[in-house]
Amino acid sequence: MSNPPFEAFPRRDGNLHVEDVPVAEIAAQTGTPVYLYSAGALEAAHDALAAAFAGRPHVICYAIKANMNLAVVSTLVKRGAGVDVTSRGELFRALRAGADASKIVYSGVGKRDDEIQAALEAGIKMFNVESRGELRHIDSVAGSLGVRAPVAFRVNPDVDPKTHPYISTGLKTSKFGIPIGEAVEAYAEAKALSHVDVRGVDCHIGSQLVSIDPFADALALVRNLVVELRAAGHAIDVIDVGGGLGVTYAEEVPPSPAEYAAAVEGSVGDLDCEIVLEPGRSITANAGIFVTQVLYQKGTDDKHFVIVDGAMNDLLRPALYGSYQRVEPVGPARGGVQKIDIVGPVCESGDFLAKDRSFPRVEEGDLLAVRSAGAYGFAMSSNYNGRPRAAEVLVRGDQYRVVRERESLEDLIRGETIPEDL
Ligand SMILES: *Cc1c(COP(=O)(O)O)cnc(C)c1O
């Protein structure tokens, strides 16, 4: 029944392509480092999830923080996706990309009043409220605008998603959400306010989850809560199951969309709720690569370093989480294999893209592709070490477009002044 997986990065005559375009051809035009995204892969990932949930009312609210490029977001919005935002800036991007405000949910622990106001004025679907203080602010801002704010509480079920500690969000030691044990009281408070409408329950426990169990454990608790809240007179008709579905970086085998949908169905399927999904990584990670060029090589007795023009400011995951992402030569592999560290020019020992890899011999000028770079790649980039941010390119079939220009030197100092009077 299912279609063959979309082959976003085929190798033809030994040369890596994005869809039908040779990577080397794009890099020759844009320079390096550069991010390349496959439109077909973005659509295939979105559509696979949509197909798995097709049997029930649902909205896929793409977690824009994973990859906020307007062209990427627009590609998904045109497929019917809504957006999960965590700031006013992300709301702005989502709307600019053409998202339907009625399919936007707003998450995040620190929403300011001006951000709440912007979201109310846009007419978003729902706020995922992360504290009772925030609830009161939403009520008051909505009151000053003369509207009612649709809300869900993000509940923290104290479930260990068994992923990296920095991306575990559903433990009771985490800053996210309200403890599930305090939810009944919090919903009672919400019900007593005059400018919020309680709509649902939200739960997002972490990212890069490669087992279905933590999802199922959390959803079982959410289910009990929904039943309890309904008994207390709350009209709960939305369950936001968050994001977090893992992807294959190395050998991981994450749950398939069908397994994931079955877990949701199995735990909350009989509650007659609309399901909101907030996938980020699982939509964009494997739709993108990061392409960098070999500048130099040097060795000591213990190490062989391949120094490339891409760095931790461009692609932070390896440095921040010690993450593994596959790296391969863009051209045909040269003979001979050696153990290498692939490192960038930034003045930090943590600046590496890959460590202790067995890799074909490389030469100065070779292009390397870092796989699974479509999520939390460009989105986490910075100008550290005075480095302009990389270009981004979207490919569809045999066509490609630069969808974000490489930053210029002038971009690096935009907004800065030297005060002559101080
Ligand atoms: C980061 C985040 C997501 C997306 O997580 P992925 O692991 O990229 O799917 C969804 N919801 C919330 C609230 C988030 O913070």
Write down the pLDDT at residue 144.
Answer: 98
Q: How confident is the model at residue 174 (pLDDT cuts 50, 70, 90)?
A: confident
Domain finish residue from 236, 253, 279: 279
Nearest residue to 88 (alpha-carbon basis) of 70, 71, 67, 64: 64
- Where is average pLDDT lowest: 101-115, 168-182, 321-335? 168-182
pLDDT in tens, 83-114: 999 999 999 999 999 999 999 999 999 999 99
Domain finish residue from 279, 313, 335: 279
Q: Which of 42, 67, 207 to mutate to test the pocket of ligand 1 (most atoms within 8 A of CB)?
A: 207
Asked if the model's pLDDT at residue 4 lies above 90, the reply is: no
Question: Whole-angstrom Cα distance, residue 52 to residue 5?
Answer: 15
Asked if the model's pLDDT at residue 8 lies above 70, the reply is: yes
Q: Are residues 375 and 354 in the same domain?
A: yes
Q: Is 178 within the bounds of a domain?
A: yes
Q: Which residues are catalytic?
A: 347
The ligand 1 site (C-beta within 6 Å) comprises 63, 65-66, 84, 107, 204, 207, 242-245, 278-282, 375
Write down the pLDDT at residue 166.
Answer: 74
Q: Are residues 178 and 256 in the same domain?
A: yes
pTM summary value: 0.96
Write down the pLDDT at residue 147.
Answer: 98
- Count of helices and strands (H, E) across the chain: 12, 21
Q: Are residues 246 and 320 in the same domain?
A: no
Closest atom of ligand 1 to 209 CA is 7
Nearest 10 degrees: CA dihedral of 163, 164, 166, 167? -30
Q: Which of 42, 49, 76, 107 to mutate to test the pocket of ligand 1 (most atoms within 8 A of CB)?
A: 107
Q: What's the gap in Å between 191 CA and the centre of ligand 1?
A: 27
Q: Is 73 within the bounds of a domain?
A: no
Write down the pLDDT at residue 162.
Answer: 76
Q: Are residues 258 and 140 in the same domain?
A: yes
Residues 332, 25 contacting (CB under 8 angstroms): no
Write down the pLDDT at residue 2.
Answer: 55
Q: What's the gap in Å between 163 CA and the centre of ligand 1?
A: 13
Q: What is the largest CA-CA distance in the chain?
A: 71
Q: How confident is the model at residue 3 (pLDDT cuts 50, 70, 90)?
A: low
Q: Are residues 163 and 303 in the same domain?
A: no
Q: Are residues 139 and 266 in the same domain?
A: yes
Domain finish residue from 239, 255, 279: 279
Q: Is 420 within the bounds of a domain?
A: no
pLDDT in tens, 353-363: 999 999 999 99
Asked if the model's pLDDT at residue 1 lies above 60, the reply is: no
Q: Are residues 359 and 394 in the same domain?
A: yes
What domain count does the chain have?
2
Question: Whole-angstrom Cα distance, residue 277 to residue 59?
Answer: 6
Closest atom of ligand 1 to 245 CA is 9
User: Three-class SS of residue 83?
Assistant: strand
Closest atom of ligand 1 to 206 CA is 7
Asked if the model's pLDDT at residue 173 lies above 80, the reply is: no
Q: What's the gap in Å between 210 CA and the centre of ligand 1?
A: 14
Q: Are residues 273 and 317 in the same domain?
A: no
Assign residue 380 the CATH number of its domain.
Answer: 2.40.37.10
Residue ID of nearest Cα to ligand 1 atom 3: 243
pLDDT in tens, 287-326: 999 999 999 999 988 899 999 999 999 999 999 999 999 9
- Mean per-residue pLDDT for 27-46? 98
Q: Are residues 196 and 116 in the same domain?
A: yes
Write down the pLDDT at residue 333.
Answer: 96
Q: Is 216 within the bounds of a domain?
A: yes
Question: Whole-angstrom Cα distance, residue 113 to residue 341?
Answer: 46
Query: Residue 334 is which amino acid?
Result: R
Question: Whole-angstrom Cα distance, residue 382 to residue 371?
Answer: 20
Q: Are residues 253 and 229 in the same domain?
A: yes
Closest atom of ligand 1 to 281 CA is 8
- Mean per-residue pLDDT for 226-235? 97
Q: Which of 42, 60, 65 to mutate to test the pocket of ligand 1 (most atoms within 8 A of CB)?
A: 65
Question: Whole-angstrom Cα distance, residue 143 to residue 141?
Answer: 5
Q: Is 385 within the bounds of a domain?
A: yes
Percent of the chain with pLDDT over 90: 92
Q: Is 421 within the bounds of a domain?
A: no
- Give the up-direction half-sphere exposure of residue 214: CA atoms within 13 A in the CB hemisphere: 28
Identify the domain containing residue 24 by its residue range.
11-37+286-412
pLDDT in tens, 183-192: 999 999 999 9
Q: Is 197 within the bounds of a domain?
A: yes
Write down the pLDDT at residue 400.
Answer: 98
Length of the chain: 422
Q: What's the gap in Å between 365 CA and the centre of ligand 1?
A: 37
Q: Are residues 244 and 311 in the same domain?
A: no
Q: Are residues 295 and 238 in the same domain?
A: no
Q: Is 45 within the bounds of a domain?
A: no
Asked if the model's pLDDT at residue 261 lies above 90, the reply is: yes
Q: What's the gap in Å between 380 CA and the centre of ligand 1?
A: 14
Assign residue 129 the CATH number of its domain.
Answer: 3.20.20.10
Q: What's the gap in Å between 207 CA and the centre of ligand 1?
A: 6
